[in-house]
Chains A and B, each alone.
Chain A
């Protein structure tokens, strides 16, 4: 599944299903399990329906009635919201970026005796 049509066309996977939603919602809107299920079922239908290599199935869903989310898609993507100011991109930090500080402590505890086998390339 994809919500970046131009990139998907450039990469050209064997099959794709395109959902025209803002980045970060490739498989639906948050906390809408029934809508997520409908979308994913529709997307997986591409395995039955698409017969030509590179074909893309367009999922007929709109994010919202207004289209304002399209106006500054990269600023939104990289800063969370608002207008870009100069180089608004997030710094490319070289240390693990945990969602919660407690995650780091838990990961260090889990790895105190060496690799866990599930963090491949990070141990």
Chain B
């Protein structure tokens, strides 16, 4: 038997370019970071580490405002003691049906809790942060949303941060 060839990962940059081309739009300018990424060594063992969760899948909590679809650079503060039954999902750029059934597919809160319960992870910070990642303006993210989130996450004093984009 020959081993089946593993498929290549979907190239979403190329896919988006093809879609825009077919519609006659100019190509979308994806963020391209230059130089070496910043690096902070992890000082704490995972079993003792506090993790901050940040997710871009459009999650909001019952009682909060939902996101809109026009460059929404707002964010939601989610109390990490919340039941996942009280989480909602809204986003224009991916199929949200599974996330609405089980938010853990894009916002792994129960999953993190279970890792804490079995002592594989130290703790989850009291607050998590969510936004709706379909923001076309990279400037808006870089200059407004990202600095605000960095400050909010730092205030939680986590040892590590887990980003879950969609």
Contact = CB atoms under 8 A, between A and B. Distances in A.
Interface of A: 1-7, 10-14, 18, 20, 22-31, 33, 36-37, 40-41, 44-45, 47-48, 53-54, 67, 70, 73-74, 76-81, 84, 86-87, 89-100, 103-104, 106-107, 109-111, 116-123
B6 to A, nearest CB: 8
A2 B93 CA distance: 15
Interface in B38-69: 38-40, 42, 46, 49, 51, 57, 60-69
Nearest to B61: A118
Interface residues of B, number: 78
Nearest to B10: A73
Contacts of A93: 68-70, 92
A94 B68 CA distance: 5
Nearest to B89: A99
Nearest to B32: A10
Given A10-B31, A26-B105, A37-B111, A97 B69 contact: yes
B68 A6 contact: no
A44 B46 contact: yes
B37 A96 contact: no
Given A84-B19, A92-B69, A122-B74, 20 more contacts: A7-B12, A14-B39, A23-B12, A24-B166, A28-B104, A28-B105, A44-B46, A44-B115, A77-B93, A92-B71, A93-B68, A94-B70, A104-B66, A106-B62, A110-B63, A117-B77, A120-B75, A120-B148, A121-B72, A121-B73
Given A47-B42, A53-B39, A94 B69 contact: yes
B106 A24 contact: yes
B7 interface: yes
Contacts of B32: 10-11
A45 B42 CA distance: 11
B62 A103 contact: yes
Contacts of B90: 96-99
B66 A97 contact: yes
A76 B96 CA distance: 10
Contacts of A4: 10, 12, 165
Nearest to B71: A92
